[in-house]
Amino acid sequence: MNPSIENIKHILVIGSGAMGSQIGMVAALAGYRVTVQDIAEDMLARAKEQLTSRMQANVAKGRASQADADAALGRLSFSTDLAAAAADADFVIEAATERLELKQHIFTQLGELTPAHAILATNSSTLGSSKVAEASGRPEQVCNMHFFNPALVMKCVEVVRNEATSQATVDTTLELARRFGKEPVLINREIPGFVANRLMGAIQKEALALHAAGIATLEDIDTTAKTALGHPMGPFELMDMVGLDVIDFIAQATYAETNDDADRPDPAITDLVEQGRLGRKSGRGWYDYS
């Protein structure tokens, strides 16, 4: 059976962190039966609690009806049992930690445990799916389906094909993203950072250079991006929101891939990370949020 949108009834999301749990909720809100799987019981419990709380807040604010919220939560289940969750999964979105050996292990298991027609997608923002495709035993049904944080809010989904990805897999993944209420973009060839992170990285690199040279303050660079270019946030504000540790990790992964000096992690960001200044989540990054 070839991949097709009509075959998708049950979606399996692997990883119950912020990205995985929200992707699961997006799929449940779109009417799909969803299982969020993780090896850690406490992570699953926290994900369930946070999603329930979030849906209750949406009802209170009039963004969703109680019936719709209850129905979506009813379609969502949480499990530590990968074999049971994968047995009838039609589409898998892997959102585990960004470690290649872990992802390869997961895709080896998925290739053995899921039905033959299932599409296996990775949410990785740095690793192209070609790195896990062979492990799955079905490279033509593997691609990147990269959501943006917070997945419940952000509209963009990058669908990235590898050299073996079939057109049926691409078409089905794009259509699934649309049914999730997203606006997917197709990236026809793997490239480190895909499109969004490369655009973001280019702006950040110039902002960092302007600041390091004393051309303008953080505040004035951010203000210029917002008032002249119409960006909702300035580059330094955005880095703090994403997390400077995440920015640093993406740069490290890109540099490891390209070996190009232009892609080296910025020492100013690395220094802030080493000081524990990770951005909003730690209370201090480029700016002080305390």
DSSP reduced 3-state for 13: strand
Query: What phi-psi label fits residue 137: left (phi over 0), alpha (psi between -120 and 50 degrees) or beta?
Result: left
Nearest to 89 by CA among 36, 136, 165: 36
| Amino acid sitting at position 231 | H
Is 146 tagged catalytic? yes
The residues that bridge with 37 in the sheet, in sequence order, are 14, 79
Catalytic residue among 16, 21, 125, 166: 125
Catalytic residue among 94, 129, 158, 282: 158
Catalytic residue among 124, 162, 166, 197: 197
Run of H or E including 22: helix 18-29
The residues that bridge with 185 in the sheet, in sequence order, are 158
Is 158 tagged catalytic? yes
Is 134 tagged catalytic? no
Q: Could you count the other beta carbons within 10 Å of the beta carbon of residue 58?
A: 18
Is 58 tagged catalytic? no
Are the C-beta atoms of 165 and 140 separated by less than 8 Å? yes
Q: How far apart, in whole angstroms, are the C-alpha atoms of residue 280 and residue 178?
A: 31
Catalytic residue among 144, 146, 166, 282: 146
Residues labelled as active-site residues: 125, 146, 158, 197
